[in-house]
Amino acid sequence: MDITRIREDFPILGQKVYGKPLVYLDNAATTQKPLCVIDAVSNAYRNVNANVHRGVHFLSQQATERMEAARETVRRFIGAGSTEEVIFTRGTTESINLVASSFAKAFLKSGDEVLVSEMEHHSNIVPWQLLAERVGFKLLAIPVTADGLLDMEAFRNMFTERTKLVSVAHVSNVLGTVNPVREIVQTAHGHGVPVLIDGAQSVPHLPVNVRELDADFYAFSGHKVYGPTGIGVLYGKRELLEKMPPYQGGGEMIAHVSFEGTTFNELPFKFEAGTPDYIGAVALAEALDYLSAIGMEAVDRRERQLCSYALDAMGAIPDIRIIGNASDRCGVVSFLLGDIHPSDVGILLDKLGIAVRTGHHCAEPLMRRFGIPGTVRASLAIYNTEAEIDALVAGIDRIRKMF
Ligand code: C6P
Protein backbone atom coordinates (compact mmCIF):
# COMPACT_ATOMS: atom_id res chain seq x y z
CA MET A 1 0.00 0.00 0.00
CA ASP A 2 1.41 3.36 -1.05
CA ILE A 3 0.81 5.55 2.00
CA THR A 4 2.65 8.51 0.47
CA ARG A 5 0.20 8.41 -2.45
CA ILE A 6 -2.77 8.06 -0.06
CA ARG A 7 -1.59 11.06 1.99
CA GLU A 8 -1.64 13.19 -1.15
CA ASP A 9 -5.41 12.63 -1.29
CA PHE A 10 -5.82 14.40 2.09
CA PRO A 11 -4.89 18.09 1.66
CA ILE A 12 -5.14 18.93 5.37
CA LEU A 13 -2.31 16.54 6.26
CA GLY A 14 0.24 18.76 4.52
CA GLN A 15 -0.20 21.63 6.97
CA LYS A 16 2.05 22.70 9.83
CA VAL A 17 0.95 23.27 13.40
CA TYR A 18 3.12 25.66 15.49
CA GLY A 19 5.65 25.36 12.66
CA LYS A 20 5.79 21.56 12.99
CA PRO A 21 4.36 19.02 10.55
CA LEU A 22 0.87 18.01 11.64
CA VAL A 23 0.73 14.49 13.10
CA TYR A 24 -2.97 13.74 13.21
CA LEU A 25 -3.69 10.88 15.62
CA ASP A 26 -7.26 11.76 16.62
CA ASN A 27 -8.98 9.69 13.98
CA ALA A 28 -11.39 7.95 16.35
CA ALA A 29 -12.91 11.38 17.00
CA THR A 30 -13.10 12.19 13.30
CA THR A 31 -11.07 11.32 10.23
CA GLN A 32 -9.74 13.78 7.68
CA LYS A 33 -11.38 13.92 4.26
CA PRO A 34 -9.92 12.94 0.89
CA LEU A 35 -10.25 15.37 -2.02
CA CYS A 36 -12.89 13.20 -3.70
CA VAL A 37 -15.19 13.69 -0.68
CA ILE A 38 -14.52 17.44 -0.49
CA ASP A 39 -15.15 17.70 -4.25
CA ALA A 40 -18.34 15.62 -4.00
CA VAL A 41 -19.81 18.16 -1.55
CA SER A 42 -18.74 21.11 -3.66
CA ASN A 43 -19.91 19.53 -6.96
CA ALA A 44 -23.29 18.62 -5.52
CA TYR A 45 -23.93 22.20 -4.36
CA ARG A 46 -22.62 23.62 -7.64
CA ASN A 47 -24.44 21.33 -10.01
CA VAL A 48 -27.15 19.12 -8.54
CA ASN A 49 -28.67 20.88 -5.57
CA ALA A 50 -32.43 20.45 -5.09
CA ASN A 51 -34.57 18.87 -2.42
CA VAL A 52 -35.00 15.12 -2.89
CA HIS A 53 -38.13 12.96 -3.27
CA ARG A 54 -40.26 16.07 -3.70
CA GLY A 55 -39.82 17.63 -7.11
CA VAL A 56 -40.84 16.63 -10.61
CA HIS A 57 -38.20 18.96 -11.98
CA PHE A 58 -34.88 17.91 -13.43
CA LEU A 59 -32.58 18.93 -10.56
CA SER A 60 -34.74 17.33 -7.91
CA GLN A 61 -34.82 14.08 -9.86
CA GLN A 62 -31.05 14.15 -10.31
CA ALA A 63 -30.50 14.83 -6.61
CA THR A 64 -32.91 12.03 -5.68
CA GLU A 65 -31.18 9.56 -8.00
CA ARG A 66 -27.82 10.43 -6.49
CA MET A 67 -29.06 10.03 -2.96
CA GLU A 68 -30.62 6.65 -3.74
CA ALA A 69 -27.44 5.57 -5.55
CA ALA A 70 -25.56 6.52 -2.36
CA ARG A 71 -27.91 4.30 -0.37
CA GLU A 72 -27.05 1.43 -2.72
CA THR A 73 -23.32 2.12 -2.20
CA VAL A 74 -23.83 1.91 1.58
CA ARG A 75 -25.86 -1.29 1.19
CA ARG A 76 -23.05 -2.90 -0.81
CA PHE A 77 -20.34 -1.64 1.57
CA ILE A 78 -21.94 -3.21 4.66
CA GLY A 79 -23.43 -6.23 2.86
CA ALA A 80 -27.08 -5.44 3.63
CA GLY A 81 -29.72 -7.38 1.73
CA SER A 82 -31.79 -4.40 0.58
CA THR A 83 -31.66 -0.61 0.46
CA GLU A 84 -34.92 -0.64 2.43
CA GLU A 85 -32.79 -1.68 5.39
CA VAL A 86 -30.40 1.29 5.06
CA ILE A 87 -31.61 4.40 6.90
CA PHE A 88 -29.72 7.66 6.70
CA THR A 89 -29.35 9.38 10.07
CA ARG A 90 -27.12 12.14 11.48
CA GLY A 91 -24.63 9.59 12.80
CA THR A 92 -24.16 6.72 15.23
CA THR A 93 -25.74 8.70 18.06
CA GLU A 94 -28.94 9.33 16.17
CA SER A 95 -29.01 5.75 14.86
CA ILE A 96 -28.91 4.39 18.42
CA ASN A 97 -31.47 6.93 19.65
CA LEU A 98 -33.74 5.91 16.78
CA VAL A 99 -33.59 2.22 17.74
CA ALA A 100 -33.88 2.94 21.48
CA SER A 101 -36.96 5.11 21.02
CA SER A 102 -38.74 3.07 18.38
CA PHE A 103 -37.78 -0.42 19.60
CA ALA A 104 -38.83 0.53 23.15
CA LYS A 105 -42.26 1.65 21.91
CA ALA A 106 -42.77 -1.56 19.92
CA PHE A 107 -41.19 -4.19 22.13
CA LEU A 108 -40.20 -3.08 25.66
CA LYS A 109 -42.24 -2.94 28.82
CA SER A 110 -41.67 -2.47 32.53
CA GLY A 111 -39.48 -5.19 34.03
CA ASP A 112 -37.69 -6.03 30.72
CA GLU A 113 -33.89 -5.96 30.50
CA VAL A 114 -31.53 -4.46 27.92
CA LEU A 115 -27.85 -5.46 27.96
CA VAL A 116 -25.07 -3.02 27.07
CA SER A 117 -21.46 -3.22 28.26
CA GLU A 118 -19.11 -1.35 30.56
CA MET A 119 -17.02 -0.28 27.57
CA GLU A 120 -19.82 1.52 25.73
CA HIS A 121 -19.63 5.09 24.51
CA HIS A 122 -22.20 7.32 26.24
CA SER A 123 -24.18 7.20 22.96
CA ASN A 124 -24.91 3.56 23.66
CA ILE A 125 -25.81 4.11 27.32
CA VAL A 126 -27.72 7.36 27.75
CA PRO A 127 -30.43 6.80 25.07
CA TRP A 128 -31.29 3.54 26.86
CA GLN A 129 -31.28 5.22 30.28
CA LEU A 130 -33.68 7.91 29.06
CA LEU A 131 -36.06 5.25 27.76
CA ALA A 132 -35.57 2.99 30.78
CA GLU A 133 -36.83 5.79 33.03
CA ARG A 134 -39.95 6.21 30.93
CA VAL A 135 -40.74 2.57 30.19
CA GLY A 136 -39.42 0.97 33.36
CA PHE A 137 -37.02 -1.55 31.81
CA LYS A 138 -33.61 -2.24 33.38
CA LEU A 139 -30.27 -1.46 31.76
CA LEU A 140 -27.57 -4.01 32.69
CA ALA A 141 -23.86 -3.77 31.82
CA ILE A 142 -21.72 -6.70 30.66
CA PRO A 143 -18.50 -6.47 32.73
CA VAL A 144 -15.10 -5.77 31.19
CA THR A 145 -11.98 -7.75 32.24
CA ALA A 146 -8.70 -6.17 33.38
CA ASP A 147 -7.34 -6.81 29.87
CA GLY A 148 -10.18 -4.78 28.37
CA LEU A 149 -12.23 -7.66 26.98
CA LEU A 150 -15.92 -8.33 27.41
CA ASP A 151 -16.41 -10.97 30.08
CA MET A 152 -18.14 -13.46 27.80
CA GLU A 153 -18.93 -15.94 30.56
CA ALA A 154 -20.69 -13.23 32.56
CA PHE A 155 -22.48 -12.17 29.36
CA ARG A 156 -23.79 -15.70 28.73
CA ASN A 157 -25.09 -15.82 32.31
CA MET A 158 -26.96 -12.51 32.07
CA PHE A 159 -29.79 -13.81 29.90
CA THR A 160 -33.21 -14.29 31.47
CA GLU A 161 -36.68 -14.42 29.96
CA ARG A 162 -36.76 -10.64 30.60
CA THR A 163 -33.81 -9.91 28.26
CA LYS A 164 -35.15 -8.12 25.17
CA LEU A 165 -32.13 -6.54 23.44
CA VAL A 166 -28.31 -6.53 23.47
CA SER A 167 -26.51 -3.36 22.31
CA VAL A 168 -22.69 -3.41 22.15
CA ALA A 169 -19.79 -1.76 20.38
CA HIS A 170 -18.00 -3.71 17.66
CA VAL A 171 -14.73 -1.92 18.52
CA SER A 172 -14.09 0.07 21.72
CA ASN A 173 -13.19 3.73 21.13
CA VAL A 174 -10.93 3.65 24.21
CA LEU A 175 -9.36 0.19 24.27
CA GLY A 176 -9.37 -0.70 20.58
CA THR A 177 -10.74 -4.11 21.57
CA VAL A 178 -12.51 -5.85 18.69
CA ASN A 179 -15.44 -7.53 20.41
CA PRO A 180 -16.51 -11.03 19.29
CA VAL A 181 -19.74 -9.69 17.81
CA ARG A 182 -20.48 -12.84 15.78
CA GLU A 183 -20.41 -14.88 18.99
CA ILE A 184 -22.44 -12.22 20.82
CA VAL A 185 -25.11 -12.33 18.11
CA GLN A 186 -25.21 -16.15 18.13
CA THR A 187 -25.55 -16.24 21.92
CA ALA A 188 -28.29 -13.59 21.95
CA HIS A 189 -30.18 -15.21 19.07
CA GLY A 190 -30.01 -18.50 20.98
CA HIS A 191 -32.23 -16.72 23.52
CA GLY A 192 -34.39 -15.10 20.81
CA VAL A 193 -32.87 -11.67 21.58
CA PRO A 194 -31.93 -9.18 18.81
CA VAL A 195 -28.59 -7.33 18.79
CA LEU A 196 -27.64 -3.76 17.91
CA ILE A 197 -23.97 -3.27 17.05
CA ASP A 198 -22.38 0.15 17.41
CA GLY A 199 -20.03 0.20 14.44
CA ALA A 200 -18.69 3.75 14.89
CA GLN A 201 -15.13 2.45 15.37
CA SER A 202 -15.29 -0.68 13.19
CA VAL A 203 -16.64 0.43 9.81
CA PRO A 204 -13.60 2.70 9.19
CA HIS A 205 -11.12 -0.10 9.93
CA LEU A 206 -12.50 -3.58 9.25
CA PRO A 207 -14.50 -5.29 6.54
CA VAL A 208 -18.06 -5.40 7.91
CA ASN A 209 -20.82 -7.58 6.54
CA VAL A 210 -24.05 -7.19 8.49
CA ARG A 211 -25.58 -10.33 7.00
CA GLU A 212 -22.56 -12.50 7.83
CA LEU A 213 -22.68 -11.10 11.38
CA ASP A 214 -26.45 -11.63 11.38
CA ALA A 215 -26.72 -8.25 13.17
CA ASP A 216 -30.26 -7.01 13.72
CA PHE A 217 -29.16 -3.38 13.81
CA TYR A 218 -25.81 -1.82 12.90
CA ALA A 219 -24.96 1.87 13.38
CA PHE A 220 -22.10 4.03 12.11
CA SER A 221 -21.08 7.65 11.44
CA GLY A 222 -19.98 9.12 8.12
CA HIS A 223 -17.41 11.50 9.59
CA LYS A 224 -15.35 8.69 11.15
CA VAL A 225 -15.12 6.85 7.84
CA TYR A 226 -13.58 9.71 5.79
CA GLY A 227 -17.04 11.07 4.94
CA PRO A 228 -18.67 14.37 5.92
CA THR A 229 -20.16 15.32 9.28
CA GLY A 230 -23.92 15.22 9.79
CA ILE A 231 -24.57 11.92 8.01
CA GLY A 232 -24.63 8.38 9.35
CA VAL A 233 -26.35 5.08 8.86
CA LEU A 234 -28.63 2.72 10.66
CA TYR A 235 -28.93 -0.74 9.17
CA GLY A 236 -31.90 -2.71 10.48
CA LYS A 237 -33.43 -6.03 9.51
CA ARG A 238 -36.58 -5.39 7.52
CA GLU A 239 -38.81 -7.62 9.69
CA LEU A 240 -37.89 -5.58 12.79
CA LEU A 241 -38.03 -2.16 11.12
CA GLU A 242 -41.46 -2.94 9.73
CA LYS A 243 -42.80 -3.60 13.22
CA MET A 244 -41.22 -0.47 14.71
CA PRO A 245 -43.10 2.86 14.78
CA PRO A 246 -41.58 6.03 13.25
CA TYR A 247 -38.94 7.80 15.32
CA GLN A 248 -39.74 11.38 14.32
CA GLY A 249 -42.67 12.90 12.47
CA GLY A 250 -42.50 15.27 9.54
CA GLY A 251 -42.28 15.39 5.77
CA GLU A 252 -41.05 12.39 3.81
CA MET A 253 -41.92 9.78 6.43
CA ILE A 254 -45.67 9.87 5.72
CA ALA A 255 -47.91 8.27 3.07
CA HIS A 256 -51.02 10.42 3.80
CA VAL A 257 -51.81 12.96 6.50
CA SER A 258 -55.22 14.03 7.74
CA PHE A 259 -56.53 15.22 11.09
CA GLU A 260 -58.37 11.92 11.37
CA GLY A 261 -55.11 9.97 11.16
CA THR A 262 -51.84 9.64 9.29
CA THR A 263 -50.34 6.69 7.44
CA PHE A 264 -46.64 6.21 7.10
CA ASN A 265 -44.27 5.82 4.18
CA GLU A 266 -42.55 2.55 3.38
CA LEU A 267 -39.02 1.62 4.44
CA PRO A 268 -36.55 3.24 4.68
CA PHE A 269 -38.38 6.59 4.37
CA LYS A 270 -40.61 5.88 7.37
CA PHE A 271 -37.54 6.66 9.51
CA GLU A 272 -36.26 9.67 7.55
CA ALA A 273 -38.45 12.59 8.61
CA GLY A 274 -37.68 15.98 7.07
CA THR A 275 -35.21 16.97 4.37
CA PRO A 276 -32.36 14.49 4.62
CA ASP A 277 -28.69 15.37 4.28
CA TYR A 278 -28.74 14.27 0.65
CA ILE A 279 -25.43 15.95 -0.11
CA GLY A 280 -23.85 14.28 2.91
CA ALA A 281 -25.18 10.94 1.66
CA VAL A 282 -23.57 11.42 -1.75
CA ALA A 283 -20.26 12.45 -0.18
CA LEU A 284 -20.40 9.49 2.23
CA ALA A 285 -20.83 7.17 -0.75
CA GLU A 286 -17.76 8.78 -2.28
CA ALA A 287 -15.79 8.03 0.91
CA LEU A 288 -16.95 4.41 0.91
CA ASP A 289 -15.99 4.05 -2.76
CA TYR A 290 -12.59 5.50 -1.90
CA LEU A 291 -12.12 2.83 0.79
CA SER A 292 -13.45 0.07 -1.46
CA ALA A 293 -10.88 0.99 -4.10
CA ILE A 294 -8.13 0.43 -1.50
CA GLY A 295 -9.97 -2.64 -0.20
CA MET A 296 -11.13 -3.06 3.41
CA GLU A 297 -9.02 -6.22 3.88
CA ALA A 298 -5.94 -4.19 2.91
CA VAL A 299 -7.01 -1.32 5.21
CA ASP A 300 -7.46 -3.77 8.09
CA ARG A 301 -4.08 -5.45 7.47
CA ARG A 302 -2.20 -2.17 7.20
CA GLU A 303 -3.79 -0.61 10.29
CA ARG A 304 -3.20 -3.70 12.42
CA GLN A 305 0.44 -3.63 11.36
CA LEU A 306 0.69 0.06 12.31
CA CYS A 307 -1.13 -0.56 15.58
CA SER A 308 1.35 -3.34 16.53
CA TYR A 309 4.21 -1.03 15.62
CA ALA A 310 2.73 1.64 17.89
CA LEU A 311 2.15 -0.81 20.74
CA ASP A 312 5.73 -2.13 20.55
CA ALA A 313 7.27 1.33 20.37
CA MET A 314 5.07 2.90 23.02
CA GLY A 315 5.24 -0.16 25.29
CA ALA A 316 9.02 0.32 25.48
CA ILE A 317 8.70 3.81 27.03
CA PRO A 318 9.44 3.72 30.79
CA ASP A 319 6.48 4.69 33.04
CA ILE A 320 3.88 4.19 30.33
CA ARG A 321 0.74 2.21 31.08
CA ILE A 322 -1.23 1.05 28.07
CA ILE A 323 -4.92 0.63 28.89
CA GLY A 324 -6.39 -2.44 27.22
CA ASN A 325 -4.54 -5.55 26.20
CA ALA A 326 -6.77 -7.33 23.68
CA SER A 327 -5.01 -9.48 21.10
CA ASP A 328 -7.75 -8.65 18.59
CA ARG A 329 -7.59 -4.88 18.48
CA CYS A 330 -7.53 -2.07 15.99
CA GLY A 331 -7.23 1.61 15.57
CA VAL A 332 -6.62 2.87 19.08
CA VAL A 333 -3.87 3.00 21.72
CA SER A 334 -4.86 4.54 25.06
CA PHE A 335 -2.25 5.20 27.72
CA LEU A 336 -1.21 6.97 30.90
CA LEU A 337 2.26 8.34 31.54
CA GLY A 338 3.43 7.99 35.15
CA ASP A 339 1.17 10.18 37.25
CA ILE A 340 1.09 13.02 34.72
CA HIS A 341 -2.48 14.15 34.04
CA PRO A 342 -3.65 13.03 30.57
CA SER A 343 -4.63 16.55 29.55
CA ASP A 344 -1.10 17.83 30.36
CA VAL A 345 0.32 15.16 28.06
CA GLY A 346 -2.19 16.12 25.35
CA ILE A 347 -1.42 19.85 25.60
CA LEU A 348 2.34 19.24 25.41
CA LEU A 349 2.00 16.83 22.48
CA ASP A 350 -0.11 19.45 20.71
CA LYS A 351 2.79 21.92 21.00
CA LEU A 352 4.85 19.38 19.06
CA GLY A 353 2.21 19.29 16.31
CA ILE A 354 0.78 15.96 17.50
CA ALA A 355 -3.03 15.75 17.79
CA VAL A 356 -4.31 13.16 20.26
CA ARG A 357 -7.44 13.07 22.40
CA THR A 358 -7.38 13.14 26.18
CA GLY A 359 -10.03 12.63 28.82
CA HIS A 360 -12.78 10.08 29.36
CA HIS A 361 -13.58 9.72 25.63
CA CYS A 362 -17.32 9.72 26.40
CA ALA A 363 -16.88 6.42 28.23
CA GLU A 364 -17.03 7.39 31.91
CA PRO A 365 -18.22 3.97 33.14
CA LEU A 366 -15.14 2.40 31.53
CA MET A 367 -12.88 4.95 33.26
CA ARG A 368 -14.55 4.03 36.54
CA ARG A 369 -14.00 0.33 35.76
CA PHE A 370 -10.24 0.98 35.44
CA GLY A 371 -10.16 3.49 38.32
CA ILE A 372 -8.62 6.21 36.14
CA PRO A 373 -9.67 9.81 35.40
CA GLY A 374 -9.05 9.47 31.68
CA THR A 375 -6.39 8.48 29.17
CA VAL A 376 -4.33 9.89 26.35
CA ARG A 377 -5.52 8.27 23.16
CA ALA A 378 -3.70 7.97 19.84
CA SER A 379 -6.05 6.74 17.16
CA LEU A 380 -5.00 5.65 13.70
CA ALA A 381 -6.20 5.96 10.12
CA ILE A 382 -5.12 4.66 6.76
CA TYR A 383 -2.87 7.71 6.13
CA ASN A 384 -0.81 7.42 9.32
CA THR A 385 2.82 6.32 9.10
CA GLU A 386 5.50 4.66 11.21
CA ALA A 387 7.36 8.00 11.14
CA GLU A 388 4.36 9.63 12.83
CA ILE A 389 4.36 6.94 15.51
CA ASP A 390 8.09 7.61 15.99
CA ALA A 391 7.29 11.31 16.43
CA LEU A 392 4.63 10.44 19.01
CA VAL A 393 7.02 8.16 20.91
CA ALA A 394 9.76 10.82 20.88
CA GLY A 395 7.20 13.39 22.10
CA ILE A 396 6.00 11.17 24.95
CA ASP A 397 9.58 10.44 25.98
CA ARG A 398 10.39 14.16 25.99
CA ILE A 399 7.37 14.90 28.21
CA ARG A 400 8.33 12.05 30.55
CA LYS A 401 11.79 13.54 30.99
CA MET A 402 10.37 17.05 31.55
CA PHE A 403 8.30 15.77 34.48
N1 C6P B 1 -16.59 8.66 19.52
C2 C6P B 1 -14.40 9.54 20.06
O3 C6P B 1 -13.54 10.43 20.07
P4 C6P B 1 -21.14 10.26 16.74
O5 C6P B 1 -20.76 11.37 17.65
O6 C6P B 1 -22.64 10.07 16.69
O7 C6P B 1 -20.54 10.36 15.38
O8 C6P B 1 -20.50 8.92 17.35
C9 C6P B 1 -20.76 8.55 18.66
C10 C6P B 1 -19.98 7.32 19.02
C11 C6P B 1 -20.66 6.15 19.27
N12 C6P B 1 -20.00 5.01 19.54
C13 C6P B 1 -18.67 4.94 19.58
C14 C6P B 1 -17.99 3.64 19.86
C15 C6P B 1 -17.92 6.10 19.34
O16 C6P B 1 -16.60 6.04 19.38
C17 C6P B 1 -18.59 7.33 19.09
C18 C6P B 1 -17.83 8.61 18.91
C19 C6P B 1 -15.70 9.79 19.32
O20 C6P B 1 -14.22 8.45 20.59
C21 C6P B 1 -16.29 11.10 19.69
S22 C6P B 1 -16.87 11.18 21.33
pLDDT (0 to 100) of residue 270: 97
- What's the CA gap between 395 and 218, in Å, rounded? 37
Is ligand 1 within 6 A of the CB of residue 93? yes
Pocket test residue of 217, 218, 362, 367 for ligand 1, highest count of atoms within 8 A of CB: 362
pLDDT (0 to 100) of residue 54: 83
CB neighbour class for 272 (10 Å; exposed up to 12, middle 13-18, buried from 19) = buried
Is ligand 1 within 6 A of the CB of residue 222? no
Nearest residue by C-alpha to atom 5 in ligand 1: 93
* pLDDT tens-place values along the chain, 403 residues long: 899 999 999 999 999 999 999 999 999 999 999 999 999 999 999 999 999 998 899 999 999 999 999 999 999 999 999 999 999 999 999 999 999 999 999 999 999 999 999 999 999 999 999 999 999 999 999 999 999 999 999 999 999 999 999 999 999 999 999 999 999 999 999 999 999 999 999 999 999 999 999 999 999 999 999 999 999 999 999 999 999 999 999 998 999 999 999 999 999 999 999 999 999 999 999 999 999 999 999 999 999 999 999 999 999 999 999 999 999 999 999 999 999 999 999 999 999 999 999 999 999 999 999 999 999 999 999 999 999 999 999 999 999 999 9
Cα 297 to ligand 1 centre (Å): 23
Cα 127 to ligand 1 centre (Å): 14
pLDDT (0 to 100) of residue 55: 83
pTM: 0.98
- What's the CA gap between 69 and 44, in Å, rounded? 14
Task: Count other Cβ atoms within 10 Å, centred on residue 378.
Answer: 29
Cα 40 to ligand 1 centre (Å): 24
Is ligand 1 within 6 A of the CB of residue 28? yes
For the segment 31-82, what is each residue's pLDDT rounded down to a tens digit? 999 999 999 999 999 999 999 998 899 999 999 999 999 999 999 999 999 9
Cα 379 to ligand 1 centre (Å): 12
Is ligand 1 within 6 A of the CB of residue 152? no
Using CA atoms, how far residue 216 sits from 64, 120, 213, 237, 339, in Å, is: 27, 18, 9, 5, 43
For the segment 358-383, what is each residue's pLDDT rounded down to a tens digit? 999 999 999 999 999 999 999 999 99
Nearest residue by C-alpha to atom 16 in ligand 1: 173
Map residue 226 onto helix, strand or coil. Answer: coil
Is ligand 1 within 6 A of the CB of residue 184? no
Is ligand 1 within 6 A of the CB of residue 53? no
Estimate the share of the chain in helix, then strand, then coil, as percent rounded to the nearest 5: 45, 20, 35
Is ligand 1 within 6 A of the CB of residue 126? no
Q: Which of 36, 307, 330, 362 is catalytic?
A: 362
Cα 365 to ligand 1 centre (Å): 15
- What's the CA gap between 129 and 304, in Å, rounded? 34
Pocket test residue of 224, 284, 375 for ligand 1, highest count of atoms within 8 A of CB: 224
Cα 363 to ligand 1 centre (Å): 10
Amino acid at 345: V
∠ CA 388-120-299 to the nearest 5 degrees? Answer: 40
Is ligand 1 within 6 A of the CB of residue 31? no
**Residue 362 is a catalytic residue:** yes
Q: Which helix (H) or strand (E) holds 282?
A: helix 278-294
Phi, psi of 166 (to 5 degrees): -115, 135
Cα 286 to ligand 1 centre (Å): 21
Pocket test residue of 24, 25, 90, 93 for ligand 1, highest count of atoms within 8 A of CB: 93
Is ligand 1 within 6 A of the CB of residue 366? no
What is the rounded radius of gyration, in angstroms, for the C-alpha atoms of the chain?
22
Pocket test residue of 173, 234, 376 for ligand 1, highest count of atoms within 8 A of CB: 173
Cα 393 to ligand 1 centre (Å): 25
Nearest residue by C-alpha to atom 17 in ligand 1: 200
Using CA atoms, how far residue 241 sits from 42, 247, 271, in Å, is: 34, 11, 9
